[in-house]
Amino acid sequence: MSASVDRLLDRLGHFLARRLEVESSGYQPYTPSDPETLHRTLQPGDVLLVEGNQRLSAAVKYLTQSTWSHAALFVGDVLPPPEDGTERPRLIEVNLGEGCVAVPLSKYRTYNTRICRPSGLTPDDREAIIVFMVERLGLKYDMRNIIDLMRYFLPTPPVPVRWRRRMIALGSGDPTRAICSSLIAQAFQSVAYPILPRVRRAPGEAAAESTYSRREILEIRHHSLYTPRDFDLSPYFQIVKPTLAFGFDYKMLTWAEAGEEEARKKAG
C-alpha cells in the first residue's frame, strides 16, 4: 500500500471515529455515579461497566442486547497522580481513537455504571491482571481499519440475533484494539480466570437457558468475542452496588410526597 493511500485511510479513519464519538442529546442517567462513592466501593481488579451515550455506544448496545456499552478496569492507586494536580487516573480502558488509556473516575460522573467484582481472585492474580493492563497503556487503535469503524454506523442493522456477537469482531485485524472489553477479557484469561463458562449438561439435566444462549456461550473462546455485558452475566463476577456496600436503611429515605405534605402542614 502506497504512503499516500495509507495517509488517506488514516484521515478517513479519524473522521469516522469523530462521528462515532458524537454524544446523543437528551441522555439522563437514572443514578449518576458519584466518584467519591465509587472510589470507596471499588477494589483493584473490579470491572466498571458504563452505559454510554455516543453513536458507537448505541451500536454496541444493540449488537450485544445489553444496557452496557463500555468497560474499564479499576487499578486503584498504582498509577502516579498527574503533575498538574488534577485527579489521579484509576481506570484503564480502551477508547476508539485513543487506544488504551488511563482516566479518572470523574469521567463517568454523569453515566449509569455497574461494578462487577471477580470472586475469589487471589492477590497475585489480581496484581498480574493490573500489570497486564498497565503494560498496555499506549496501545493504539488502528484508524485505517475502516471495516471496524463502518459497522458501527448501523446501530440497528438487519443482522440475525445469533450473528450479532460475531459482528462485534468482524474485520478486526487486532481484536484488542477494537472493543474495550476485549483487552480486559484478555487480562483475566492471562491468569485463567473464567468469565463465561463452557456449558456442560449432565444426561437428563433440565436446561435452564435457551438453545441460543448455550450455543452463544460455547462459541466464546477468543477474547475478541467478549463484550461488556459478559461481565454482568458471568456467574464468577459479583455485582456490587455502592448504595448497599456500606449499609442501607430505607427508613432514612425522605419521599417526595412526605416532604410535600410536611411543607403543606407548616404552611397551614
Question: Cα angle vertex 97, ends 92, 101, to 5°?
Answer: 15
Query: Cβ distance 224 to 178 under 8 Å?
Result: yes
**Average pLDDT, rounded, for the chain:** 75
pLDDT: which is higher, 57 or 85: 85
Mean pLDDT score, 180-196? 89
- Residue 98's pLDDT is 77
Q: Note down the domain range covering 231.
A: 3-267
Q: Which three cell numbers stand for residue 168?
A: 462485534
pLDDT winner (highest mean) among 14-23, 135-144, 200-209: 135-144
Query: Cβ distance 77 to 46 under 8 Å?
Result: no
Q: How many Cα neighbours within 13 Å face the side chain of 11?
A: 6
Question: Cα angle vertex 196, ends 191, 202, to 5°?
Answer: 115
pLDDT: which is higher, 170 or 137: 137
CATH of residue 244: 3.90.1720.10
Number of H helices, E strands in the chain: 11, 6
pLDDT at 38 over 70: yes
User: How many independent structural domains does the chain possess?
Assistant: 1
Packing angle between helix 123-135 and helix 180-189, nearest 10 degrees?
140
Taking the C-alpha atoms of residue 90 and residue 93, their distance in angstroms, rounded to an integer, is 10
120-146 tens-digit pLDDT: 999 999 999 999 999 999 887 766 565
